[in-house]
Amino acid sequence: MSLQEFDALIDKMKLAFEYADNLGQYFDAAKILYQMNQELPDDLQVAIEELENSNVAKSFVMRYQSEIKSAISEYRQRLMNF
């Protein structure tokens, strides 16, 4: 995947994530974080637990949001170097 393709995909996911997060739809936001993580190469994917129910969605988002964003930044750096 090229940097431009990755950026386009991640930008759409970030917008969807921010929309869900801002509306307090934490279960949807958590699902988007999980999908973003899946777009990363295996060595950069964050080891995240399964989201078992919507009651823990807010804590899931709070726990993994910054880790996944950091991994995305690292992958972007890799793509820029190729």
Give the per-residue pLDDT at 55. 85
Give the per-residue pLDDT at 9. 97
Give the per-residue pLDDT at 49. 85
DSSP 29-67: HHHHHHHHHHTS-GGG---------GGGHHHHHHHHHHH
Residue 21, pLDDT > 90, answer: yes
Model confidence band, residue 34 (pLDDT cutoffs 50, 70, 90): very high
